[in-house]
Amino acid sequence: MRAVFLDRDGVLNQAVVREQRPYPPDKLEDLTLFPDAAEALARLKNAGFLLLVVTNQPDVARGTQSRAVVEAMNRSLAKQLPLDGFLVCWHDDDACCTCRKPKPGLLVEASARHAIDLGASFLIGDRWRDIDAGAAAGCRTVLIDRGYRERGPAAEPDFRTISLSSAVDWILQAH
């Protein structure tokens, strides 16, 4: 089975950007899909890819967001997009878990659960943590460069772009 792993905030829905740094939306009403998301994911689905969201949500551990709101956002995305599932890391960095990107734990868990061939799969993300997690899992990676003020990935992405649609174009040509 081939999959495309997708980060949530900044890939499927717009991140809240403050001082050139991305943050997840605070409430369900602030969740705004990128206009090209549904069509782009439909093309991946039609090509036979399993579509899984892999997302860090450390604000739950930090006490600044509720798990219920994050799960409501995920349900909303699942209703609007052809997604096959969500894998969420609820921890902050100091938890030293294996699931928080840039570690590949969420992708490895998905691979075991769905018999995914990680080497034939892709990860699309908008931050260094996403790209490094995908590379560590053995996936090909696509960075959607949103111009954030943060360090770049340690692993060079296989492709850089500015939109989900062009990321999907590349994946459909590369596979």
According to DSSP, the residues that pair with 9 across neighbouring strands are 13
DSSP for 41-105? HHHHHHTT-EEEEEEE-THHHHTSS-HHHHHHHHHHHHHHS---EEEEE---GGG--SSSTTSSH
* Residue 159, C-beta contacts closer than 8 angstroms, at least 6 positions apart: 140, 141, 142, 143, 167, 170, 174
Q: Which of 7, 59, 126, 158 is catalytic?
A: 7
Q: Which residues contact 158 (CB under 8 A, 6 or more apart)?
A: 140, 141, 142, 174
- Specify the amino acid at residue 116: I
Name the amino acid, one letter, at 15. A
- Per annotation, catalytic residue among 9, 59, 130, 158: 9
Asked about 7 being catalytic, the answer comes back as: yes
Q: List active site positions.
A: 7, 9
